[in-house]
Amino acid sequence: MKVLVTGVKGQLGHDVVNELTKRNHEAIGVDIEEMDITDYSSVESGIKKANPDAVIHCAAWTAVDAAEDVDNQEKVHLVNATGTKHIATLCKELDIKLMYLSTDYVFDGQGTEPWQPDCKDYNPLNVYGKSKLEGELAVAELLKKYFIVRIAWVFGNNGNNFIKTMLKIGKSHDTLTVVSDQIGTPTYTYDLARLLVDMIETDKYGNYHATNEGGFISWYDFAKEIFHQAAALGFSEYSEERLTVSPVTTAEYGISKAARPYNSRLDKSKLIDQGFTPLPTWKDALNRYLTEIL
């Protein structure tokens, strides 16, 4: 199978291309230099030249706070909404199946119940979430052969993420405060890439949620486990004796430019119902990741 992957320079796109190649699929990774998704003619020539059997659309504007800046909002919309519509339009014309990577941010994060993949109670809190939802709606409106896969709390080798930030700050501070009232589950791009390729090899289309297993946690819980595992690997600067991590509420931490959802719990049971293998636990994923980057 020949698969075009957008956003190859990002954490997820990089791992998806590697996974496709590992399975002897022909992977064509593109980024803005090869195919500017905000430009319809660029998308048209890029997809027609590649002539793929499927597109996995990972490219996105993901700088959530920067998206709130007035000067950036039009560009965010162009990338996440218009760009996705361009790709979906070409996939419809050429009868190519499309996988679109979306986010828990399409919901408002209220309550404590996990969000169902086919829930239509969208109410994004910020510019990023609104733009990703527009992308979702364009895909669902234009295509029948599509996967919309919502993910959350992503970390991988090829880019910045919460783990790298914590490790960096933890080295230079002896006390940290981390938000404890935003709840979700981390997602390791290496594990996610395996699942996405499993999915694209089928025609089990629809909306899905995908994160690592192991239950729901707060960012505070995640930070504590990052430092615990890093110390266990021999990095004493992250030990409890040297580094104190305290929980705070979102309100206490201070207002960021973009409002964050409190409830990022995603129900993943549809994956099992459709016969897909769930991701490993987030603690296992964290251990493998730290072993690789430390």
Q: What proportion of the chain, given as a percentage, has pLDDT over 90? A: 97
CATH number at residue 202: 3.40.50.720
Q: Is position 226 within any domain?
A: no
Would you name the residues annotated as active-site residues?
128
Q: Write down the pLDDT at residue 119.
A: 96
Q: Is position 273 within any domain?
A: yes
Q: How far apart are CA 200 and CA 96, in angstroms?
A: 11
Q: Is position 137 within any domain?
A: yes
Q: Write down the pLDDT at residue 213.
A: 98
- Domain range enclosing 88: 2-161+186-213+266-280
User: 87-123, pLDDT tens digit by residue?
Assistant: 999 999 999 999 999 999 999 999 999 999 999 999 9
Q: 234 to each of 229, 238, 239, 243, how far by Cα in Å?
A: 9, 9, 9, 14
The shares of helix, strand and coil residues in the chain, as percent rounded to the nearest 5, are: 45, 20, 35
Tell me, yes or no, if the pTM score tops 0.85.
yes
Low-confidence ranges of the chain (pLDDT < 70): none
Q: How far apart are CA 174 and CA 240, in angstroms?
A: 10
User: How many other CB atoms sit within 10 Å of the CB of residue 247?
Assistant: 17
Q: Is position 206 within any domain?
A: yes
Domain count, the chain: 1
